[in-house]
Structure 1
Amino acid sequence: MRYKIAATTVLAAMAAPSLAFAHHPMGGATPSTLMEGLLSGFGHPIIGVDHLAFVVLVGLAAVFLTRKYVAPLAFIFGTVAGCLLITNGTALPYAELVITGSVVLLGAMVMSGRKIPSGVYLAIFAIAGLFHGGAYGEAIVGAENSPLVAYLVGFAAIQYSIAIGAGFVVEKFWHATEAAAAKPRIAGAVAAGIGVAFFVENVEGMIFG
């Protein structure tokens, strides 16, 4: 099992850079209508592979918590708050490093299969959410209120759907009843590998420009 987890992590880390699509669903243009804002909100957490990996991890972790349907909201509320901070001119330091580091951390926690207090997970969800949401906010800076609200609704809805969907897969298809189950741990390893690849890429970018 250890060899399978390690191999999966390595493959994910090698593949992740090739999956790094642009983080702006509108091709860099600021949404100007309600529909553009909504579609951009739907797209942003999906085309950013590091963001998508974290949302899936939230679902994998939350399914084993007491309030599995409520726990992902800590992350989602965090992303909304982070987005609003950026759109109001508040910068978040070392955002990309924190974002990719959060993927590595949560992936490692899920991969460990250990029972970790819900409060720890909720704190990680909320803090990471601020930075992920800050990255989302870069695509909507300067937008009018209507597309901004639609954008917030869009990425909140898609993230919650993905997180709950990941938990559904764990319960109904993998039939995993505890965090120590093999398949969720392997999925955590894959996500952690993606996080490592993006983290290294960001560090290299800081060093070499």
Structure 2
Amino acid sequence: MKRFAAALILAASSGAALAHSGAGAHAHGFLAGFSHPFTGVDHLLAMLAVGAWSVRQPNAKWLPATFIGMLLAGMASGMAGLALPGLETGIALTVVLMGLLVALAARLPAAVGAVMVGTFAVLHGNAHGHELPQAISAAGLLAASLLLVYGGNLLGRVSPALAVKASGAAIAATGVVLAATA
């Protein structure tokens, strides 16, 4: 319970990364990429939720790796200049949906979960690819994303089920606020 409380405090102290304004919006380099997922509540919560939710999925231990792989694909699309319509709203909705899945301890068929998590990762990756278009920034972002997704997985394993569900509800509520302001 203390670990989840600490995670929620950290999440609440980060600001929303809702200003995905394109290349040049941030400094570039490994540390810029690494710090970015920790400074935006939308990315932070989505990645933690993917990890926590994957714990409860049957035959889906590879969901975190799917998220990271598709995050990379989404980053490549952003770096190539592909602009996805409604990106900010889509990212906020990923937070809502992942939070609901965690809160409800929803179980989905493995293929459905993989497609959903992969789609969410592409959205997040595309935004990151626009913001951090250098390879060194992408490497930092992927390293931080690995920590967050697998950190969420660890929290999902060691935290009481009720704490995980309550955290999911808080994540979903935060996502609703993000969607309303996107």
Question: Which residue of the partner structure matches residue 186 of structure 1?
Answer: 166
**1:153-192 mapped onto 2 (5 Å cutoff):** 153-172=139-158, 174=159, 176=160, 181-192=161-172
Question: Which residue of the partner structure matches residue 205 of structure 1?
Answer: none
Counterpart-to-counterpart distance in 2, 1:105 and 1:28: 27
Does the residue aligned with 1:19 lie in a helix, a strand or coil? coil
Question: Which residue of the partner structure matches residue 54 of structure 1?
Answer: 46
Counterpart-to-counterpart distance in 2, 1:39 and 1:134: 19
Select the residue among 9, 32, 41 that pairs with 2:33.
41
Using a 3 Å threshold, how does the CA distance of structure 1 residues 16 and 200 change in structure 2: closer, same or farther? farther
Q: Percent identity?
A: 31
Q: Deviations 1:154-192 (Å, cap 9, x if unpaired)?
A: 1112111112112222323x2x4xxxx312111111110
- Correspondence 1:20 to 2:32: no
Q: Which amino acid aligns with 1:19?
A: G
Select the residue among 87, 94, 105 that pairs with 1:102.
94
Does the residue aligned with 2:83 lie in a helix, a strand or coil? coil
Select the residue among 45, 49, 63 that pairs with 1:71.
63
Q: Which amino acid aligns with 1:163?
A: V
Across the aligned residues of Structure 1 and Structure 2, the Cα RMSD in angstroms comes to 2.5
Question: Which residue of the partner structure matches residue 114 of structure 1?
Answer: 106
Q: Which amino acid aligns with 1:155?
A: L
Select the residue among 62, 65, 82 that pairs with 1:90.
82
Unaligned stretches of 5+ in structure 1? 1-11, 32-36, 142-147, 203-209
Using a 3 Å threshold, how does the CA distance of structure 1 residues 194 and 16 change in structure 2: closer, same or farther? farther
- Correspondence 1:152 to 2:138: yes
Counterpart-to-counterpart distance in 2, 1:163 and 1:29: 23
Post-superposition offset of 1:54 = 0.1
Counterpart-to-counterpart distance in 2, 1:60 and 1:131: 19
Q: Does the aligned pair in 1 maintain the 2:48–2:149 contact within 8 Å?
A: yes
So what's the TM-score if we normalise by structure 2? 0.82
Question: Which residue of the partner structure matches residue 197 of structure 1?
Answer: 177
So what's the TM-score if we normalise by structure 1? 0.72
Between the two proteins, the alignment pairs up a number of residues equal to 169
Counterpart-to-counterpart distance in 1, 2:65 and 2:145: 9
Q: Which runs of 4+ in 1 moved over 6 A?
A: 15-18
Q: Which amino acid aligns with 1:196?
A: V
Post-superposition offset of 1:114 = 2.9
Using a 3 Å threshold, how does the CA distance of structure 1 residues 140 and 19 change in structure 2: closer, same or farther? closer
Counterpart-to-counterpart distance in 2, 1:39 and 1:45: 11
Q: Does the aligned pair in 2 maintain the 1:16–1:194 contact within 8 Å?
A: no
